[in-house]
Structure 1
């Protein structure tokens, strides 16, 4: 009976929230639906725990609260991804233990859902991943052209193919000391795969930013121009996201908001990215007095640095700032904002699905570069250990 009541309350709430969101100009489904589902689930699990006089859910929620508070303190730490992944694992163990205690069907359903997710990742496997990467690389190269940035999924696919061939045909035919020596390659791939998982997790969580409609400035990060003078479809999505927020804040709160278009003029561009973005906004009917130009920057780092100078010139106490970019880019942009003492969260514009794998790989490489000393120190220590083992095995064969 409890399970049936839970499902009725859960789906009734889903329907109500969905209908309410549809009435809005900018409907947001994921966050309110997730919040409702989580709330109902916590209440349901709490009732079962009280009936069984246990308190394990309190420990799980306390751990999640600590991780969340650490995330709120600094959203740009990559370790937050590791902590959230650790919590997901603990929650899965809790569900399994809880089911064996209560035999509750809802708990079983959740446990099976998590298990199927892990199983799907396992079944997906190396071969399926390689096929997907080759397929994605062909689409990206066909639609976006040939460039080093667009070759990342192809390069990764080739690297994984070589590793697969090595494990299948070579590893059993070479001396043991060479196995140790070559082990640095799969170790490096495994290490960076783990770091990528943490990066992907925290990037997806960062997408859930919902800033209040009380901002003073919104920075739009520039990108390359079409024919050196017009905004590209990718850049227009960033601008549209900012303009949508601007219009909603203006309509609902009336709080004044300035839009800073940030982007300099590249060597192959006729005008600055900031100027082209401003012209696009003017065509959408945005008043010119609300548009500011930062046309000196050449990177995300300088986007934030020079935009902060403009913001500081207004001398606003407790200034509130957000920025707009494509969804795959906002986490790294937030890191640069914090490095420039600019407390600003990002709102992400949608990106074509086919482009996301390549884009996320590019962002990941840039994130690794930010902390390259730490990562390559770990790889270096592992490499020295494996080299030592190779020498020992060579000198003292078994």
Structure 2
């Protein structure tokens, strides 16, 4: 029942955020958790054959997850602690993160103990518990992928644009790598689809400060690539200090306010990166629409998993709530 309620609550909050542009609430994250809750509810209550089959398939593979999930939780707990020690947050925020990490790490110790002393516990308890956690992570991952694809749906306006391209890794020689090249090409394709009149009033904003071995920043490398593709230097604005997604949005906000008065902002990044980008755009009150670029097949799995973990950390409070609820529910079923 709780999953149905959560799905409805996150849906309502997401609709509110969409209708109030000045709200710092991320509609994308609300959509992810609403969809995750809906999937969890269906897994628990639906007897539809495909869901029935998938549910029991996960029960079967949970024998493997017995050896994996504890270490996933260990990594999540450690990442929460490391992330918070690197950031300047309030005492309450640090205390909350410590509590959340402690809950996860305590459950890791409990899980490890059960693995070592498997004869002393009912195997069905552990399988049921980890199957439920596996279903949650699976539902979250599916929701993340679906919302990533939905965010990039956009439409053109008959007005000039500010095309904001987020930087990512460059090689030691100061050349664009595959992911960044796809982002820039998507931005150029969008630019060339505009009428010549609108093109003349459209600007590119490139952000990235991680320097290559030759000293060139991501922004400088991106600007050089755009000029090689025929974009006028006078139409390219550089932000050369940002080291991550948060700073991409934060450091460019003054430029966006100045250049975006008569222009529609469109942010270009990799499709898998869109939910987190939209989260920070909302946080820093930067209204935008989005274009998602493709990712090379060979690097897609690593990029998506890394981004998924980053989103888990951003939403750790909600995820830990779900995990604790799953644990309590499973033990209640067994002992009550």
TM-score norm. by structure 1 comes to 0.55
Aligned counterparts, 1:18-37, within 5 A: none
Larger Rg: 1
The 8 Å contact of residues 67 and 84 in structure 1, kept in 2 or not, is answered as: no
SS at match of 2:215: coil
Aligned counterparts, 1:108-147, within 5 A: none
Q: Compare relative contact order (CA 8 Å, sep 6+) and give the higher one, 1 or 2.
A: 2
Aligned counterparts, 1:11-160, within 5 A: 72-73=18-19, 76-81=27-32
What does residue 175 of structure 1 align with? 121
Of residues 258, 281, 301 in structure 2, which corresponds to 1:357?
301
What is the CA–CA distance in structure 2 between the aligned matches of 1:348 and 1:357, rounded to whole Å? 16
Of residues 153, 163, 166 in structure 2, which corresponds to 1:218?
163
Shift, 1:85, TM fit: 8.1
Of residues 204, 212, 224 in structure 2, which corresponds to 1:279?
224
The 8 Å contact of residues 209 and 242 in structure 2, kept in 1 or not, is answered as: yes
What is the CA–CA distance in structure 2 between the aligned matches of 1:372 and 1:122, rounded to whole Å? 25
SS at match of 2:272: coil
The 8 Å contact of residues 160 and 199 in structure 2, kept in 1 or not, is answered as: no
Aligned residues: 263
SS at match of 2:313: helix
SS at match of 2:267: strand
What does residue 380 of structure 1 align with? 324
SS at match of 1:219: strand
The 8 Å contact of residues 82 and 198 in structure 1, kept in 2 or not, is answered as: yes
The 8 Å contact of residues 225 and 269 in structure 1, kept in 2 or not, is answered as: no
Return 5+ residue gaps in structure 1 as ranges. 1-64, 89-114, 131-162
Shift, 1:174, TM fit: 5.2
Q: CA RMSD in A?
A: 4.1
Per-residue CA deviations over 1:84-141 (Å, capped at 9, x if unaligned) read 68999xxxxxxxxxxxxxxxxxxxxxxxxxx9986996898777xx9xxxxxxxxxxx
What does residue 136 of structure 1 align with? none
The 8 Å contact of residues 181 and 387 in structure 1, kept in 2 or not, is answered as: no
What is the CA–CA distance in structure 2 between the aligned matches of 1:288 and 1:338, rounded to whole Å? 30
1:324 aligned onto 2:260: no
Aligned counterparts, 1:186-225, within 5 A: 186-212=131-157, 214-225=159-170
Shift, 1:269, TM fit: 5.8
Aligned counterparts, 1:227-246, within 5 A: 227-246=172-191
TM-score norm. by structure 2 comes to 0.64
What does residue 249 of structure 1 align with? 194
Return 5+ residue gaps in structure 2 as ranges. 1-10, 20-24, 40-47, 65-110
SS at match of 1:328: helix
